[in-house]
Structure 1
Amino acid sequence: MDIRTTPNPVIRRAERALHRLNARHPWDHNAHFHRWVLRSLPPGAARVLDVGCGRGDLVRALAGRVAQVDGIDPDPRMALVAAERCRDLDGVAIRRRGLAAHAETLRAEGTGGHYDALTMIASLHHMELEPALAQARDLLRPGGRLLVVTLTVPRTRLGLLWDIGDALSNPLIGLVKHPRPVRDPVPGPSIPVQDPAWSHEELRERSREILPGAVLHRREGFRSTLRWQKPI
């Protein structure tokens, strides 16, 4: 049973109550992992690619740590918003394209395989899994790191229990991060959303051959993280 989609009336009432509490004490599930990304950058990282950069929040955070940040997003509106928000930053380039197109462009230019790190926050599940992981792998230099934060769907008993724990802890994290209730929220540019197609276990299994030795963890906020370093 997936508690996110089950028609069970008790669960749906509980969901509505949690949703009201979450709306009063919201927190950004993606920005929550920016510190993990920054801590996980390889030493001396100089060039990073952020895939699915959205509004450019992580790009801005990375720009304070590395000399060159490339942000890509296939959504025209998101790419425009990110470009506007990052126009004051040196060493930042925002392009409206997806990962496959970016990889193909760099291959044609003969400049592939040169990123010190490649980041994906809530963007991997918008792509075909195996091709995206392979493209990310090939864009990294030897010793470069792939850092992924992705949504997953629960398909095992452990996955379901973790999902329930996330649902219950979500408003508590919101209370800590945003203790003052929001009464008149100001909407920002909406980010395209898509439901995940794989579970944490499926992600581990399907990434095994492409990214041998990748480290995966279940995380808060209905997320999983994947960290992989390209062999030298």
Structure 2
Amino acid sequence: MPFNHNDHYHDLLLRELPASCRTALEVGCGTGRFARKLALRGIEVDAIDVDSHVVTAARKQNSALDLPGQIRFERADITRLTLAPDTYDYIACLASIHHVPFETVQKLRASLTANGVLVILGCYREATLWDHTVSLLAVPVNAMWRAAVLFRENRPGSRADQGTQSPSAPVTPPSMSLAEIREESATHLPGRRIRRLLFWRYLLVFHNLKEGSGSE
């Protein structure tokens, strides 16, 4: 089925772009769809993923496009990659942080420019009755979205690339509950905002505020 939960929240992530964003890092770029949306805005993007197959496919798809901003796709493990400080105005992690130790966010924070923004579209382990309730509520809504997307994409001429299949990256179940993520993120990313989303995701937003510029 064509409905992708991460893609569904792209617009939500794009709302957090700094007004003067020039450089961005995407951790866990997958097919490169979100990186391309950033490049369409003239942003220079470093897009990394540990899976060589999805990176190769993303490069191939991107080579046929003429975008205002450049995308550099790289196969890399964020836990081993050296990031220069004060480099990125915007860092996005789409369903990738649960694949690495959560304290990796400290490395990402250090690489933000002053007033840069880190956004995490994350997955969490269901641990409470409310977690399971939200999950059950999401099931029928998820089914309706899948049906709607499938209908739209099956209409004649709806998509030029219909029939092409991008490789899927490996999936790892999240080990941290939302409560644990809230606690850990408060330590590593003071002042962050975090909220639960419907489709088995949460959104974390951290602004790397200049000293003396106030808090959120």
Fold shared, TM-score > 0.5 on shorter chain: yes
The answer for the alignment partner of 1:91 in structure 2 is 70
1:138 corresponds, among 95, 110, 113, to: 110
- Write the distance in 1 (CA, Å) between the matches of 2:152 and 2:16: 31
Q: Any runs of at least 4 consecutive aligned residues in structure 1 with deviations exceeding 6 A, and if so which? A: none
1:67 and 1:165 mapped to 2: Cα distance? Answer: 37
Residue 121 of structure 1 is matched in structure 2 by 94
Give me the whole-angstrom Cα distance separating, in 2, the residues matched to 1:52 and 1:179: 29
How far 1:221 moved relative to its partner? 1.5
- Given that residues 54 and 78 in structure 1 are in contact (C-alpha distance below 8 angstroms), is that contact kept between their aligned partners in structure 2? yes
Q: Percent identity?
A: 29
Q: How does 1:186-225 map to 2 (within 5 A)?
A: 187-225=165-203
Name the amino acid aligned to 1:231: L
Residue 33 of structure 2 aligns with which residue?
Answer: 57
TM-score (norm 1): 0.80
Whether contact under 8 Å (2:51, 2:169) holds in the other structure is: no
Q: Indicate yes or no: 2:14 matched with 1:38.
A: yes
| Distance in 2 separating the partners of 1:119 and 1:223 | 14
Q: 1:201 to 1:66 in 2, by over 3 A?
A: farther
Aligned partners of 2:118 and 2:97: how far apart in 1? 12
User: Structure 1 31/181 Cα, relative in aligned 2: closer, same or farther at 3 Å?
Assistant: closer
- Give, as a single letter, the amino acid of the residue that structure 2 aligns with 1:134: Q
Q: Secondary structure at the match of 1:99?
A: coil
In structure 2, distance between residues paired with 1:86 and 1:138: 29
CA distance in 2, matches of 1:32, 1:224: 13
TM-score w.r.t. the length of structure 2 is 0.85
The CA distance in 2 between the partners of 1:65 and 1:78, in whole Å, is 23
Letter in 2 for 1:222: W
- Deviation of 1:186 (Å): 6.1
| 5+ long unaligned stretches in structure 2 | 155-162, 211-216
Q: CA deviation at 1:175?
A: 3.3
Give the CA RMSD over aligned residues: 2.0
| Unaligned segments of structure 1, at least 5 residues | 1-22
> Quick check: 1:52–1:98 contact (8 Å CA) kept in 2?
no
Contact 1:63/1:92 (<8 A) preserved = yes
Q: Which one-letter code corresponds to 1:50 in the other structure?
A: E
